[in-house]
C-alpha cells in the first residue's frame, strides 16, 4: 500500500509538471500581450495597440540619427561612432523589461527587443554585404559569474531576425574592473582605455558595423570600442541600443 502511495505521488508530480509545461506552451502559442493581455499580437509578447503606444523615439525629423538632436549631440562631444539609434528613453515599459531581462533572466525578451530594433533600423543595412553586427563584451569572469551577457543575447536575436553576420567573438573585454557606477567620467574613461581588445581571429572588419548594447548612458564604453574599430579600418559605426538614459 505504501508503495502504491509513492507511485501515485510520483505520477501526480509528473502529471503536474507536464501540465505546467503544457500551459506554458499553450500560452506562448496562443499568445498574450505582456502589457494588456490582449491577443491581437504583432510579436508573441506584444499586441498591435501596445506597440503603437510604446514611448519610442521618433526619428522622422532627426535624419534617422539621435546625434542630430542638439541636446544629445552635446552629451557625446568626443564620440567615435557615427550614428546612434535607441528605441526609447529609459522609462516604462523598457526600464521594467530591461530589469526583468537582466535580473530575472526573462531571456524571451531578447527577441522582443530584437524585433523592435529591426523595425527601427528599417532597411538601412539589410541589403548591405559589407555590414556586420557586434555586441559590447563583458569580461569572461563576469560572464561566468552571471551566466550570460545581455548585449550578446540581444545581438544573437537581432542576427536571427536580420540575417546580418554577427561577429560574436571579435571583441574581447580584457580587464576586469568592478562596476563603473558612481565613478567619475574621467576615471571611467581611464579604466576603459585599455579594457578592450580585438580577437586575433579577426583580420578585417566589414566597413559598416552595428554595435549593440542594452543601454547607453555616458557612451564611454562604446566610445572605447569604436576607437579600436576605427583603427581597424571600420568606416561607419551605428550604436544600437534598447534604451537611452541620461548620465547623472
Ligand atoms: Zn497589449
Parallel, antiparallel or unpaired: strands 236-244 and 83-89? parallel
* pLDDT at 180 > cutoff 60: no
Query: In the chain, how many domains are there?
Result: 1
Is residue 241 pLDDT above 90, yes or no?
yes
193: CATH? 3.40.50
Q: Specify if 24 maps to a domain.
A: no
pLDDT at residue 193 in the model: 72
Which percentage of the chain shows pLDDT scores above 70?
88
The answer to whether 205 and 165 are in contact (CB under 8 A) is no
Q: Distance, CA 55 to ligand 1 centroid (Å)?
A: 14
Q: Is residue 23 situated within a structural domain?
A: no
Q: How far is the CA of 45 from the centre of ligand 1 (A)?
A: 8
Whole-number Å distance, alpha carbon 19 to ligand 1 midpoint, is 26
How far, in Å, is the centroid of ligand 1 from the Cα of 245?
Answer: 25
Question: What are the C-alpha distances in Å from 30 to residues 8, 10, 17, 50, 112?
Answer: 32, 30, 20, 17, 16
158 within a domain of the structure (yes/no): yes
Residue 9 scores a pLDDT above 80: no
User: What is the model's pLDDT at position 91?
Assistant: 96
What is the Å distance from ligand 1's center to 63 Cα?
A: 29
Cα gap 51→42, rounded to integer Å: 8
pLDDT recorded at residue 118: 96
Q: How confident is the model at residue 25 (pLDDT cuts 50, 70, 90)?
A: low
Q: What is the pLDDT of residue 108?
A: 94
Question: What number is the average pLDDT over the span 146-172?
Answer: 95
94 C-alpha vs ligand 1 centroid, how far in Å? Answer: 14
Of the candidates 209, 248, 214, the one whose C-alpha atom is nearest the C-alpha of residue 227 is 209
Tell me the backbone φ, ψ of residue 75, rounded to 5 degrees: -75, -20
Q: In what order do the strands lie in the sheet with 208-216?
A: 83-89, 236-244, 208-216, 131-135
Q: What's the 85 CA to ligand 1 centre distance in angstroms?
A: 24
- Mean pLDDT score of the chain: 88
Distance from the alpha carbon of residue 84 to the mean position of ligand 1, in angstroms:
28
Give residue 44 CA to ligand 1 midpoint distance, Å: 11
User: Distance from the CA of 30 to the center of ligand 1, in angstroms?
Assistant: 14
Residues 161 and 41: their CA atoms lie apart, in Å, by 17
How far, in Å, is the centroid of ligand 1 from the Cα of 123?
26
Question: Does residue 185 belong to any structural domain of this protein?
Answer: yes
* Residue 39 pLDDT: 87
C-beta separation of 84 from 239 below 8 A: yes
Dump pLDDT digits (tens) for 163-174: 999 999 999 998
Q: Is residue 46 part of a domain?
A: no
Ligand 1 midpoint to CA 40 (Å): 8
CA of 176 to the centre of ligand 1 (A): 41
Asked whether residue 22 is assigned to any structural domain, the reply reads no
The Å distance, Cα 53 to ligand 1 centre, comes to 9
Q: Tell me, in angstroms, the distance from the centre of ligand 1 to residue 234's CA.
A: 40
Residue 16 in domain: no
Q: Tell which residue, 56, 55, 31, has the closest CA to residue 45.
A: 31
CB 84 within 8 A of CB 237: no
Confidence of residue 24 (pLDDT cuts 50, 70, 90): low
Q: How far is the CA of 211 from the centre of ligand 1 (A)?
A: 29
Instruction: State the residue range of the domain holding 120.
Output: 56-244
What pTM was computed for the model? 0.84
**Residue 239: inside a domain, yes or no?**
yes
CB 24 within 8 A of CB 108: no
Q: How does DSSP classify residue 39?
A: S
The residue with cell 552635446 is 74
Amino acid at each position: 500500500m505504501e508503495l502504491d502511495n509513492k507511485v501515485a505521488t510520483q505520477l501526480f508530480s509528473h502529471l503536474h509538471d507536464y501540465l505546467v509545461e503544457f500551459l506554458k506552451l499553450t500560452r506562448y502559442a496562443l499568445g498574450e500581450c505582456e502589457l494588456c493581455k490582449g491577443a491581437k499580437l504583432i510579436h508573441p509578447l506584444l499586441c498591435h495597440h501596445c506597440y503603437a503606444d510604446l514611448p519610442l523615439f521618433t526619428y522622422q525629423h532627426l535624419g534617422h540619427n539621435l546625434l542630430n538632436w542638439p541636446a544629445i549631440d552635446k552629451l557625446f562631444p568626443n564620440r567615435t561612432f557615427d550614428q546612434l539609434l535607441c528605441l526609447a528613453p529609459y522609462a516604462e515599459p523598457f526600464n521594467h523589461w530591461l530589469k526583468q531581462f537582466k535580473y530575472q533572466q526573462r531571456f524571451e525578451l531578447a527577441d522582443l527587443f530584437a524585433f523592435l530594433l529591426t523595425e527601427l533600423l528599417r532597411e538601412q543595412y539589410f541589403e548591405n554585404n559589407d555590414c556586420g553586427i557586434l555586441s559590447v563584451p563583458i569580461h569572461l569572469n563576469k560572464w561566468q559569474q552571471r551566466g550570460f551577457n545581455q548585449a550578446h543575447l540581444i545581438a544573437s536575436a537581432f542576427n536571427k531576425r536580420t540575417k546580418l553576420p554577427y561577429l560574436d567573438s571579435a571583441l574581447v573585454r580584457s580587464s576586469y574592473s568592478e562596476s563603473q557606477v558612481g565613478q567619475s567620467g574621467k576615471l571611467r574613461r581611464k579604466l576603459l582605455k585599455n579594457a578592450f581588445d580585438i580577437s586575433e581571429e579577426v583580420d578585417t572588419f566589414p566597413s559598416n558595423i552595428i554595435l549593440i548594447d542594452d543601454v547607453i548612458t555616458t557612451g564611454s564604453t562604446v566610445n572605447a570600442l569604436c576607437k579600436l574599430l576605427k583603427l581597424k579600418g571600420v568606416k561607419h559605426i551605428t550604436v544600437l541600443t534598447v534604451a537611452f538614459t541620461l548620465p547623472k
